[in-house]
């Protein structure tokens, strides 16, 4: 019974989303190209990280694939997404994996989580020399990472905010 009610609420939410005017901020890749399928992770700041549909927005600015996205060829579980600041000067943008020499700036860049560590360490999957063990070009995000929202709508206007469990 509860799941039927939840399903009805979700259907109602999606129907309302289709009626809302297009007021969400546009998202851009580091090169300045529009990221048409990305959605801002937050709407309470002038600028925010954006993630694509099917990705969870993590509090450290990383986008995490939530299911079907992982089945695509060459997919990685974690990516550097886009930002609502076209210039990428805002500290709210994901200011990592944006090296013009190594990273793909016209789209998302894959990120790998370092294994065998309790720290929140990652490396950009970009051809640049990196080593989790030696600390070379490692991204460190102090504190506990939590899910901020999950972009689940196929309608570009919506991003359903969910309560997500903290990752360990």
- The mean predicted confidence, pLDDT, of the chain is 76
What pLDDT is attached to residue 145? 56
153, pLDDT greater than 80: no
The number of domains in the chain is 1
What pLDDT is attached to residue 38? 95
What is the C-alpha separation between 43 and 161, in angstroms, rounded?
A: 11
Rounded mean pLDDT, 93-98 = 94
Domain assignment present for 156: no
- For 73, the domain range is 25-150
Report pLDDT digits (tens) over 52-94. Answer: 988 999 888 999 998 888 888 888 899 999 999 999 999 999 9
Higher model confidence: residue 139 or residue 11?
Answer: 139
- Is 0.85 surpassed by the pTM of this model? no
Domain assignment present for 95: yes
Domain assignment present for 81: yes
Domain assignment present for 164: no
Higher model confidence: residue 84 or residue 99?
Answer: 84
State the pLDDT confidence band at 147, using cuts at 50, 70 and 90: low
Domain assignment present for 105: yes
99, pLDDT greater than 80: yes
Domain assignment present for 46: yes
SS (H, E, C) the chain: CHHHHHHHHHHHHHHHHHHCCCCCCCCECCCCCECCCEEECCCCCCCCEEEECCEEEECCCEEEECCHHHHCCCCCCEEECEECCCCCCCCCCCCCCCCCCCCCCCCCEEEEECCCCCCCEEEECCCCCCECCCCECCEECCCCCCEEEECCCCCCCCCCCCCCCCCC
What pLDDT is attached to residue 81? 95
What pLDDT is attached to residue 29? 97
Domain assignment present for 100: yes
pLDDT more than 70, % of the chain: 70
> Taking Cα atoms as reference points, which of 138, 132, 159, 144 lies closest to residue 60?
144
State the pLDDT confidence band at 146, using cuts at 50, 70 and 90: low
Domain assignment present for 30: yes
């Amino acid at each position: 019974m509860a799941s039927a009610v939840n399903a009805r609420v979700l259907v109602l939410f999606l129907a309302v989303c289709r009626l809302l005017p297009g007021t969400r901020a546009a998202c851009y890749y580091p090169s300045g190209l529009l990221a048409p399928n990305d959605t801002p992770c937050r709407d309470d700041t002038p600028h925010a990280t954006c993630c694509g549909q099917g990705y969870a927005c993590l509090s450290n600015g990383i986008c995490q694939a939530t299911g079907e996205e992982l089945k695509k060829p060459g997919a990685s579980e974690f990516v550097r997404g886009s930002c609502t600041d076209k210039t990428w000067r805002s500290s709210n943008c994901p200011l990592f994996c944006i090296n013009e020499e190594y990273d793909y700036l016209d789209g998302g860049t894959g990120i790998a989580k370092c294994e065998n560590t309790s720290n929140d360490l990652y490396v950009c999957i970009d051809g640049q020399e990196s080593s989790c063990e030696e600390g070379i070009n490692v991204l460190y995000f102090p504190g506990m990472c939590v899910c901020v929202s999950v972009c689940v709508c196929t309608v570009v206007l919506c991003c359903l905010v969910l309560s997500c469990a903290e990752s360990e």
